[in-house]
Amino acid sequence: MNTLKQQCRRITEEILEFLDDRNRSEPKGTPTPNPWQATNFEKLRHGAETLSLYQERFSAKVMELSAALRQEGYCDAEFEALLRPPPNPASLRNIAEKLRALSGTQE
């Protein structure tokens, strides 16, 4: 289990670093009710790109960890629900935080 916990810690830090980088690069601006305004469109595009990059970089690793955690009896319904599509940017941080908790690291 120690190796599994280490893997959880490592992927957690990688995901959180990725999300922090994406947050810093998020387009700034005042949201408007018009969804077609450039500011809203750029934020939507950035969110979709964040999800795509997450899927490409982390999804398979997280699913493998989930399977290993499930075999060890450490997964729960809340975590499994987070992994079901469609993900959103907020759920990505929740996934990382849940992995952190499962690894026994509370930072």
> Domain coordinates of the chain in residue numbers?
2-25+37-102
Question: Residues 70-92: what's their mean pLDDT?
Answer: 84
Helix locations, the chain, DSSP H: 2-24, 38-54, 60-71, 77-83, 89-102
Question: Residues 49-60: what's their mean pLDDT?
Answer: 95
Question: What is residue 93's predicted lDDT score, i.e. its pLDDT?
Answer: 93
Minimum mean pLDDT among 32-36, 43-47, 63-67, 79-83: which range? 32-36
pTM: 0.84
Rounded CA-CA distance 37/59 in Å is 31
Rounded CA-CA distance 98/106 in Å is 10
